[in-house]
A and B are shown apart, each in its own frame.
Chain A
Amino acid sequence: MTRPDTSRGHNVSLDFLADRARFVRLETLRLSRIAGAGHYSSTFSAAELFAALYYAHLRINPAEPRWPDRDRFILSKGHAAIGLYPVLADLGFYDMKLLENYTRLGSPFGDHPDMKKIPGVDFSSGSLGHGLSVGVGMALSGRVEKRDFRVYCMLGDGELNEGQVWEAAMAAGHFKLQGLVAIVDRNQLCIDGNTEQVMSVEPIGDRFASFGWAVQRIDGHDLEAVMAALEGLKPAGEGKPQLIIADTIKGRGVKRMELSLNWHVGNLVGEDYDDAWNEIMAGLQPRVEA
């Protein structure tokens, strides 16, 4: 599919975005099967975020991946690239067929994204904690060059344990980088367990606010809320970097993966694959808390 134009913000229906979030989850299943393993649950938590950003919000032009005035997107939680690759293909950055060799020898598409090989990937990532700093640099360059693009950076919540994130948060506040938008996929789990038990990250909002950021907090699976948050971002000139904390559920969309520690990396086979596929096709179901 193609997006109607290259401006920021598009009037697309929430049903359409829900369908694209489903596409992200289904493609994650498909590509994981090609690779023999995949980061399912960290990608499922970000599916609505990917859909809203790429299909309804970001100012991008797939025909010109390096367009100087495009919005930048840094996937600092690079292990969720498996969900980003199909979106970029779907938007026309490259042929979807290229993904059939996902992670195979010679493929440009690895477990973590490489900006030198993949059109539409604004920065290589994979080592947690670096992305927001890169975003600070890009936003500073935008200011030096007097361009009004924004830099969006998606971080994991476990990633907030990295000290460098707070160096970047401090610098963004100091330089008043209003063009910088951080999105935390607050999916509650890092590899070893719940973040609040392993190394607590809360109160995320208060912490960023104290570093000079404007903060919104939303349900990251509620597309209406996600869109409202993105549309509520202040235009350049307000003088603060902006944070969206998206409360999500790691593994959302496949019940056995939701808030499970077993699916950070996994490989669904046989009936399990088909069951997960059918579950995703049925759409997000209300969660019954255990």
Chain B
Amino acid sequence: MSTSAPRALPGITIAKSAPIWRQGTPLKMKAYGQALVALAQRNPDVVCLGADLTGPTETDMFRDRIPERFFNFGVAEANVMCAASGMAREGDIPFVNTFSVFATRRSLDQVALQIAYPNVNVKLVGFMPGLTSPGGPTHQAIDDVAIMRALPNMIVVEPADGDQVADLVEAIAEHRGPVYMRIKRGELPLCIPAGTPRARLGKLQPITSGADGTILASGVMVALALEAADDLRVAGLDVGVVNAHTVKPLDRDGVLAIARTGKPLLVAENHSVIGGLGAAVAEVISEAGIALPFGRLGVRDVFSEGGTAQYLFQKYGLSTAAIRAAFEGLLPH
């Protein structure tokens, strides 16, 4: 389930799981793979490194179009992290592509000491964050944001929308220093309305505003938060949705502006509630001494199991309905 290609068993096709978003949500496929090739065609310093996950990290396009700058290190994450560091020291801009769990937990010492500490220009791209992986705890990164956020010099981003991927790829390439980007593989929703100001690294991206409160979300949770806000609107509540595509550095002023309204604020993330976006937002608000109805929605300090994302999002409280219920729980009774 976690390997690069479906097993070739004659007569058996692997069922494609239903998306976690509502039917009819427009989707974009392999936005990252396309964006990386486009970036590398403009910037000759970009090199692409991987660890035997070329298809699942959408870098087959890079391998086929720019083979002289594509390096596959096999199943050896510790090695590829340090090699990327060496290449960055030489002036290249390595994008290292693997699953989120391997970019963070598996190779933490290498990432911390050869990438974050020397502040080299390596971009780590981790796929299948949180419960978007069907592979069970071995392949579900529910702690990657917490880990990477704790590393000095490390920037942490997560695109919410298929069209946002290229913007963030461009932005992290322009930032000189280490970045961790977590991204769902395959299809991403096109959920940010045309006309919304584009993502800027380190700034919150308001998508809608609401007089009755705000849902601040990251990654795949943004589209679900927009669905929940639609449902709340039907129920008579005007709730805004804000995309926190940059978890670190968190947009402190943006968070405080939301908090100072005093309206309920729910933070929704596809990650443990410990150490991720919700925790980061809580830190900012509590240090500013602001009191408001506040909640964190995410994985509640448990390991999940294997299953479709649709099933796991229901079971572990990350669904549209769960977001709506959590927000309603913040309202005065």
A residues with CB within 8 A of B: 114-116, 122-124, 126-127, 129-131, 133-142, 144-145, 151, 163-164, 167-168, 170-171, 174-175
Contact = CB atoms under 8 A, between A and B. Distances in A.
A196 B192 CA distance: 61
A164 B82 contact: yes
B69 to A, nearest CB: 7
Contacts of B63: none
B68 interface: yes
- Interface SS majority for chain B: helix
Given A144-B69, A167-B76, A136 B118 contact: no
A134 B71 contact: no
Which 5 A-B pairs give the minimum distances between C-beta atoms?
Answer: A137-B86, A133-B82, A137-B83, A141-B90, A167-B79
Nearest to B122: A137
Given A123-B89, A127-B109, A144-B69, A134 B83 contact: yes
B128 to A, nearest CB: 23
B119 A168 contact: no
Contacts of B87: 137-138, 140-141
B85 A137 contact: yes
B198 to A, nearest CB: 32
A116 B118 contact: yes
Contacts, number: 104
A124 B118 contact: yes
26 contacts: A115-B89, A116-B118, A123-B85, A123-B89, A123-B118, A127-B114, A134-B82, A136-B86, A137-B85, A137-B87, A137-B88, A138-B89, A138-B90, A139-B86, A140-B83, A140-B86, A140-B87, A141-B92, A142-B90, A164-B76, A167-B76, A167-B78, A168-B79, A170-B74, A170-B76, A171-B79
Contacts of B78: 129-130, 133, 163-164, 167
A141 B86 contact: yes
Contact of B83 (A114, A124, A133): A133
A95 B109 CA distance: 33
Given A137-B83, A140-B71, A145-B91, 6 more contacts: A124-B114, A133-B79, A135-B86, A136-B83, A137-B86, A141-B47
A136 B69 CA distance: 15
Contacts of A142: 90
Interface in B115-174: 117-119
B15 to A, nearest CB: 36
Interface residues of B, number: 30
B76 A137 contact: no
B113 interface: yes
A131 B118 CA distance: 13
Interface string B53-95: 0000000000000001101011010111111111111111010
Contacts of A138: 86-87, 89-90
Interface centre among A123, A151, A175 (most CB of B within 10 A): A123
B34 to A, nearest CB: 23
Nearest to B81: A133
Interface in B175-226: none
Contacts of A137: 82-90, 94
Given A167-B78, A167-B79, A171-B73, A133 B86 contact: yes
A136 to B, nearest CB: 5
A130 B113 contact: yes
B110 interface: yes
Contacts of A126: 113
B47 A144 contact: yes
Contacts of A163: 78
Contacts of B119: 116
A144 B117 CA distance: 25
A168 B89 CA distance: 17
B121 to A, nearest CB: 12
B106 to A, nearest CB: 11
Nearest to A112: B113
Contacts of B73: 167, 171
B17 to A, nearest CB: 33
Nearest to B49: A137
Given A122-B89, A171-B73, A144 B68 contact: yes
Contacts of B74: 170-171, 174
A151 B82 CA distance: 14
Contacts of A134: 82-83, 85-86, 89, 114
A124 B92 CA distance: 18
Residue among B89, B110, B113 with max Cβ neighbours from chain A (10 Å):
B89
A139 to B, nearest CB: 8
Nearest to A145: B90
Contacts of B80: 133
A177 to B, nearest CB: 10
B96 to A, nearest CB: 10
B160 to A, nearest CB: 32
A28 B90 CA distance: 31
A141 B68 CA distance: 11
Nearest to A162: B78
A170 B76 CA distance: 10
B118 A115 contact: yes
A188 to B, nearest CB: 26
A171 B76 contact: yes
A145 B71 CA distance: 14
Contacts of B91: 141, 145
A99 B109 CA distance: 29
Interface in B92-114: 92, 94, 109-110, 113-114
